[in-house]
Amino acid sequence: MEHQFRINLQGIIDLLSNNLYGESRVFIRELLQNGVDAIQARSQLIDKGADGSALGDSLRDNDINFGHLKIELIPGNSGSLPVLSFVDDGIGLTEEEVHRFLATIGQSSKTSNLWKARENFLGQFGIGLLSCFMVSEEIVVITRSARSEDAPTLEWKGRSDGTYKIRVLNYSIEPGTQVYLNCKPGCESMFELDELITNLVYYGGLLPYKIEVISGKKRQIINPEGIPWHQEFPSETKKIEYLLEYGKKTFDVDFIDAIPLRSKIGKVDGVAFVLPYAPTVAQNPTHRVYLKQMLLSEKAENLVPNWAFFVKCIINVNDLRPTASRESFYEDEKLQKTREAIGDNLRNYLFHLHRTQPDRLRRVIQLHNLSIKAMALENDDCFHMFMDLLTFETSKGNMTFGEYRRSTDQIRYVTQLDAFRQIAPVAAAQQIQILNAGYVYEEALLEKYQALHPDDELQKIQPSDLSHDLEDLSIEEREKSHHLAQLADVVLQPYHCMTQIRKFQPDDLPVLLTIDGEAEFRRDLDRSKEVANELWSSIMDHLSPAASISTYAQLCFNYRNPLVKRLISIRDKELLRRCIEMLYVQSLLLGHHPLDAKEMKLLNRGLLGLIEWGLNQIPMKDS
Amino acid sequence: MMKSILDQINSIIEQVNKLPNGNTKIELMEEAIRLADVHQRPDIGFDLRDQLMTVATFCGAPEKTLVAFSWCLAQCDQNPEEFDQLQLLWKYKWVVSSLKYFPHIRLDQINQAMEDMTKRYQGCGLGLRPVYKLACEHAMARKDYPQVKHFQRLWRSSPIGSGNDCAACERDSQVGYYLFDGDIDRAFKAAEPIVTGQMKCGEVPHVTLPQLLVPLLRRKDYAKATHYYFWATRLLKYNPDFISEYGKILTFLALTGNPNEGLPILEAMLPAVMETKALSRRFYFQLGTSLLLHYLQESGSEQISIRIPKELKDLLEKDFAGASGAKEIDKKSISLQSFIQWVDADLQRIATLFDKRNGTDAFTRNIEDSKNDRELFCLIPLKAVD
Ligand SMILES: Nc1ncnc2c1ncn2[C@@H]1O[C@H](COP(=O)(O)OP(=O)(O)OP(=O)(O)O)[C@@H](O)[C@H]1O
Ligand SMILES: [Mg+2]
């Protein structure tokens, strides 16, 4: 024998409200949706009539004027809780439809192929109405179908325990549907006028049909202006002013500018607001997206290009498919093209600024350097237009790429922040200009520049490369300092450090220590190895193939420095060794490089040795 | 007055928080760590390394995670009162998982690491499921079938403990296992909650979608393959952590006749590929590169004009120019022939390193298998001309 599953409605409602709906105010969205759908359906009914089919013929004359949603709030008093009614003049329901659609969970009248433009409906699952049970124990629906003139007025009462009653009323209402909700204890806030208006504006502010709230003598239209960016304005300036005001009203942010958006693909339009601050990654702007003028999501994430984090958008979409989670759209070529079109809108805006208000553009670029960098990387036109305007750090301070390029014959850059810090002061003292490309996107931008300008020779340098630019010694100088050079190499070899002697500014700097990226990694690794247990220490030994030259640090002695000159004159090998070691350790410390155990020992031994040596000098002088 | 070390570190961290994951972020973290070390503040150094591990892991610098991890583990062992091992053990999974990228690390070292992990997970009541999963994945990487089966059974029959991966990652691994096992139907079934968006995390479905591309081609489900392609490229964002995944994307593009979509990816990812120490990732990327380049060559191209890292350019000019009829590499375009030779030599070189270490021929066979995938070719124009 076969049985039918029984469903515990309360259980389902709890499930939906905890998992699907998230917050109880979505019942407003669902009721608005159903009202809008009903009006849509009714107009399709009439169109059908116009097509010559039998349906609707008799209705046409008196039904031209509909498309109105009324929401009435009857506040509670000491004895009673408030009541809310949603009234539409849409298609209504026949008795058979009430049983089939209203009273059957998961059944929707909107999925049938009989509809001419079924994709115009917002509802599709047949569960929206259930959300009303989150705020009301009972849903009362009074409805009269617009399909025939003699359709009866019906009353349906559904309860959250899963039972419902239906009866024919003995009076007649205009075609349409009225939904009544009695406030459930604990849900009073949803039935407060201010809250109600806020929520209606939130979900339905852009809807195409008139939505009116009534409470006592108060009446207010929720969407008096329709879609803000569709309105006519006497001038472009007025339009932008209006949109900025709308942005302020909606997000409470004083945006810098408003950019109209439009894409034929996906049937998308809207506004992008330029943020007055540079967003951090943690607060990457989210966008508000409407689907057919009904709010879909507050944080839609894949409609706008990745690089466009200088704007916050409000967008209405007519022809893209939302995913089940309703937080993004289905990824396909159509979506990608839509995204590109939105990207084009944003780029064109900046191009336009470039032509008409270069100062303004400069300010936007300064504020949104990171976003514009990402954008220039993505698109060649943007690159040509903006690269010169982007700010970089150089050994001569911050300047735009254009300024930098004009001030030097050779573009030289480092790609690591630490590398820049090591060499910038010395480079500056030699009048060598080095660009810091260690921040996000910068290295890729310079590579792109090179690719687009193959005749400009760009040079990516490591800190140790700087020594090539420092003045070489003459033959005599080299001969004179030969023993220092030789000893220094031998002494510092165990510390993975090579040495050189050059002449450079400033004179009072005895040595320049440079540690390239690979060498830095080796130092970090060695520091871990010192403490790590046997297993991990041996694993680290095998992490990459044997140490190469690139893992060496480099110590460059300054021949101009008086101390170094005196070192050269020292013949006492032991003393010279100590001095070399101490210069090495000291430059590590100055560069904030942690010392490993060997270097620490060097420091201690060196200090003691020097003290001892100093003390030894005293009696010798005395005697 | 000198800024106190805490102030200095805090101001670095403040900068770090504003940045997207990437090299800049790693470098700043390392700078902060050096400051803490200089001032001998292991407590601060520990927390910073803990953060560094997350950044480095998700930005494609697993060797930095490993180095930081070893340091932290030692601190925990030496000062159990002061340093919380539990927090660290979660990341043990990342580190052990990353050992398979480095061909110079010996198998016995990997096994010892897994034993150590087992001991510590047991000691803290974290459950061994993730350890078995890792063992299974290591065995898959070297195509050691008996071991794969053995650990897969242990993995799937162990309870989910508090040290386990998130549900989405775990599911992704299951998909990976079924694909390895050749059970495509089950792989797709297992992937269902991921591709419908019910299970997701920071790296899922990012890493799942590319795995499914070739299997979809095999099933001739071109619509889905295209959808997953678009979805994946949107998520991967040229993050160096996804080098292998991009290899699979390139394979897909080669097999569907879309070199124009593939070359920009090659261009964007090559610097990271050249730089990575994770050689097996480089290997999987090059499998895709090779297919794409061969496709181009077979369709008649001789030169391609993409931007490549300087060191690679030098290499091509020096070591791989000969066979291409000594054709000069001009500034803008490079000879396809020398590029192909380099890629194929690179594949062979890496395969040999791993196969020697593993005592199997898994990687060499991967090269063969990838060549055989060419029979799946089907022209799917991804960018319809509008
Ligand atoms: N205001 C209304 N006017 C006419 N019919 C309505 C109205 N509200 C609901 N209905 C009928 O009740 C059915 C169920 O409504 P419900 O909101 O639960 O589902 P839906 O709108 O079809 O889909 P969704 O779950 O996506 O909202 C609808 O398909 C429709 O036939
Ligand atoms: Mg509905």
Predicted ipTM? 0.94
Rounded distance from Cα A112 to ligand 1 centre (Å): 13
Q: Per-residue pLDDT for A55 more than 50?
A: no
* Contact residues for B8 (Cβ-Cβ < 8 A; gap 6+): B35
Q: Report d(CA B271, CA A207) in Å as an integer.
A: 50
- Place A610 in a pLDDT band, splitting at 50, 70 and 90: confident
pLDDT band at residue A60, thresholds of 50, 70 and 90?
very low
Q: Which two tokens stand for residue A455?
A: 């005749």
* Chain A residues with CB-CB distance to B37 below 8 A: 527, 594
B/e letters for B228-245, b = 16+ CB within 10 Å, e = fewer, are bbbbbbbbbebbbbbbbb
Share of chain A above pLDDT 90, in %: 67
What atom in ligand 1 is closest to the CA of residue A101?
Answer: 13
Q: Closest CB to A416: pick one of B27, B105, B112.
A: B27
**Which ligand 1 atom lies nearest to the CA of residue A105?**
18
- CA dist B179 and B213 (Å) reads 11
pLDDT mean over A83-87: 97
**Percent of chain B scoring above 70 in pLDDT:** 96
Statement: residue A56 has pLDDT above 70: no
Torsion angle defined by CA atoms of residues A403, A406, A411 and A415, in that order, rounded to the nearest 10 degrees = 0
Most B CBs within 10 Å, among A344, A442, A536, to test the B interface = A536
Please give the Cα distance from A116 to A55 (Å, whole number).
13
Residues 122-181 of B with CB under 8 A from A: none
Which H or E run includes A71? Answer: strand A68-74
* Site to substitute for ligand 1 among A31, A34, A143, most atoms within 8 A of C-beta: A34
Amino acid letter for position B25 = K
The pLDDT tens digits of the residues spanning B10-43 come to 999 888 888 888 889 999 999 999 999 999 999 9
Find, in chain A, the residue whose alpha carbon is nearest to that of B115: A535
Given a cut of 90, whether residue A96 has pLDDT beyond it is yes
Distance from Cα A65 to the centre of ligand 1, integer Å: 22
Nearest to B38 among A324, A333, A592 (CB): A592
8-state DSSP, A80:
B
Mean pLDDT of B87-103: 96
- Asked whether B272 and B312 are in contact (CB, 8 A), the reply is no
Identity of the amino acid at A301: E
CB-neighbour burial class of residue A166 (10 A; exposed 0-12, middle 13-18, buried 19+): middle
Q: Are strands A458-460 and A411-414 parallel, antiparallel or unpaired?
A: parallel
Q: Does B17 touch chain A (CB under 8 A)?
A: yes
Nearest CA to ligand 1 atom 4: A92
What confidence tens digit (pLDDT) does each residue in A473-483 have?
999 999 999 99
Distance from C-alpha of A394 to C-alpha of A379, rounded to nearest angstrom:
25
State both tokens at A3.
């049985």
What does each C-alpha distance from A339 to A10, A53, A343 come to in angstroms? 42, 41, 6
- What does the buried/exposed string (b/e) look like for A464-475 if buried means 16 or more CB atoms within 10 Å of the residue's CB? bbbbebbeebee
Please give, rounded to a whole number of angstroms, the shortest distance from the CA of B35 to a CA of chain A. 6
pLDDT at A58 over 50: no
Q: Indicate yes or no: CB of A528 within 8 angstroms of CB of B307.
A: no
pLDDT value at residue A64: 61
Least confident of A48-52, A427-431, A608-612, B218-222: A48-52
- Spatial neighbors of B352 by CB under 8 A, at least 6 apart, are B363, B364
Would you place residue A5 in the very low, low, confident or very high pLDDT band (cuts 50, 70, 90)?
Answer: confident
Which one of A306, A336, A545 has the shortest CB-CB distance to B230?
A336
State the pLDDT at residue A621. 53
pLDDT tens per residue, range A342-387: 999 999 999 999 999 999 999 999 999 989 999 999 899 999 999 9
What confidence tier does B295 reach under pLDDT thresholds 50, 70, 90?
very high
Rounded CA separation B204/A237 (Å): 45
The nearest CA of chain A is from the CA of B18 a distance in Å of: 5
Report, as an integer, the average pLDDT of A304-319.
93
Nearest CA-CA partner of B260 in B299, B314, B216, B211:
B299
A444, A527, A545 member nearest B104 (Cβ): A545
* Least confident stretch, A214-223, A333-342, B19-28, B274-283: B19-28
Is the model's pLDDT at B384 over the cut of 80?
no
Whole-prediction pTM: 0.84
Q: Is A564 exposed, middle or buried (0-12, 13-18, 19+ CB in 10 A)?
A: buried
**Mean pLDDT of the A491-519 span:** 94
A467 three-state secondary structure: helix
For residue A302, give both structure tokens: 């894949």
Cβ atoms of A122 and A140 closer than 8 Å = no
**Residues lining ligand 1, CB < 6 A?**
A 30, 33-35, 37-38, 88, 90-93, 101-102, 108-110, 123-129, 177
For residue range B125-156, what is the model confidence (pLDDT) as tens digits? Answer: 999 999 999 999 999 999 999 999 999 999 99
Beta strands in B228-341 (DSSP E): 303-304, 334-335
At B323, is the pLDDT very low, low, confident or very high (cuts 50, 70, 90)?
A: low
pLDDT of A38 over the 60 cut: yes
Percent of chain B with pLDDT over 90: 82
Alpha carbon distance B299, A530 (integer Å): 55
Overall average pLDDT of the A457-479 stretch: 92
pLDDT band at A52 (very low <50, low <70, confident <90, very high): very low
Edge-first strand order for the sheet with A553-558 is: A497-502, A553-558, A511-514
Residue A142 pLDDT: 97
